[in-house]
Amino acid sequence: LAERGHYAEMLPPARQMLERLSDYEQHSDRYHDSSYREPKDSTDRQDYIEFYRSKAQKYIAAAYAAISESGSMEESFRQLEAIVRNAAAREHRARYQAIEQQYETERQRAEARRNALIAWSTGVIGLLAVCFALFALYKHHETRRKNRALVRQIDEAMAYKERYEALLSPQILDTPKGGNAEDTTDTDLFAQIHDTIVREQLYLNPTCDRQMLIDRFGLSKERIGAAFAKGSSHPSLSAYINDLRLEHAYKLLLDQPGLDLGQVAQQSGFSSRKYFGDRFKSRYGMTPSEFRAARQ
C-alpha cells in the first residue's frame, strides 16, 4: 500500500494489527496453535509482540506523515518511541536477569563446593579424632602395662635390698669416734654411716648435708667425702640422700595410698612436690601418680 501511495489505507490494518497484538498479549491462550511460529515462552512472546507493535506504529507514523497529519504523526512517533524504550528496557532487564541467574548459579556452585569441603574436612577431622582417641587409649593401656611391670621390678628390688641390709646389719660396727675412723676402710666407714643415717632417719631432715654429717660423726669433710666417693656406689652425697628419700616415699605410697602427694614429698624430706616428682620419675621411670595408679 505504501508503494502505491495508498497511505490512508495503511491506517486500518495497522490499527487492527495493534488491537490483535494487545488481545494476544492479554489472551495468549486463544492463539495457541502449536506451530513453529508460536513463541516458546512468555519472554519470546513479549518480544514477538513488541517487534510487530513497533512495525505497526512505524506504518501508522509513515501514513500520517504522508497525509500531512502532523499531530497524529507526532503521537505515533511518541508511541513508537515508547515501544522502543520498552523494548530496550526489556532487553536490559533480560540481560540483568541472565547475569543475576548466572551469579546465582555460581553462588550455588560455590556454596556446594564449600559445603562439600566442610563435610570432607569434618569427616577427616572426625576420622583423625577417632584414630587419635584409639591411639591414646592404646598408649594408655600400654603405659599402664609397662608401669605395672616396673612396679613389680621395683617391689622385687626393694625387697632384695631390705633382705641384704638385714643380713649386713649385724656385721656393722658402732659409729667410729675420733681416731678410730682412721683405721676404718672407706667401705666399712660408709656402711657404719649409712646404718646410722637409716636407723635415725637423718635423711628426712631437709637440711641433711655434708656439714650435718661432719657434726654428727665428728669426721673431717675429706674423710666423709672419701667414704662416699670410694666406699659407696653413689656418685655424690646428695644423690645418696635423694635415694633414701625416694625409698621412704615409695613406702609411704605403698602403705598410705590415700596420702596427698604433697604430704608424701614433705614427709620424705623433699623441699617441693615438683622436685619430688622429677626425682621419682628419674629414679623409677614413672611419676608418683602413675606409680599409685599402676598399683590399683
The mean per-residue pLDDT over the stretch 189-217 comes to 91
Q: What is the pLDDT of residue 58?
A: 78
| 144-294 CATH choice from 3.40.190.10, 3.40.50.300, 1.10.10.60, 3.30.1130.10 | 1.10.10.60
Q: What is the pLDDT of residue 9?
A: 72
Report the share of the chain in percent with pLDDT over 70.
79
- Mapping DSSP onto H, E and C, the string for the chain reads CCCCCCCHHHHHHHHHHHHHHHHHHHCHHHHCCCCCCCCCCHHHHHHHHHHHHHHHHHHHHHHHHHCCCHHHHHHHHHHHHHHHHHHHHHHHHHHHHHHHHHHHHHHHHHHHHHHHHHHHHHHHHHHHHHHHHHHHHHHHHHHHHHHHHHHHHHHHHHHHHHHHHHHHHHHCCCCCCHHHHHHCCHHHHHHHHHHHHHHCCHHHCCCCCHHHHHHHHCCCHHHHHHHHHHHCCCCCHHHHHHHHHHHHHHHHHHHCCCCCHHHHHHHCCCCCHHHHHHHHHHHHCCCHHHHHHHCC
For the cut 60, the answer to whether the pLDDT of residue 70 exceeds it is no
Q: What is the pLDDT of residue 275?
A: 94
**Mean pLDDT value across the chain:** 80
Name the more confident of 226 and 295.
Answer: 226
Q: What is the pLDDT of residue 173?
A: 47
Q: How confident is the model at residue 287 (pLDDT cuts 50, 70, 90)?
A: very high
For the cut 90, the answer to whether the pLDDT of residue 274 exceeds it is yes
Domain ranges of the chain: 8-110, 144-294
Q: What is the pLDDT of residue 40?
A: 72
For the cut 50, the answer to whether the pLDDT of residue 185 exceeds it is yes
The mean per-residue pLDDT over the stretch 169-179 comes to 52
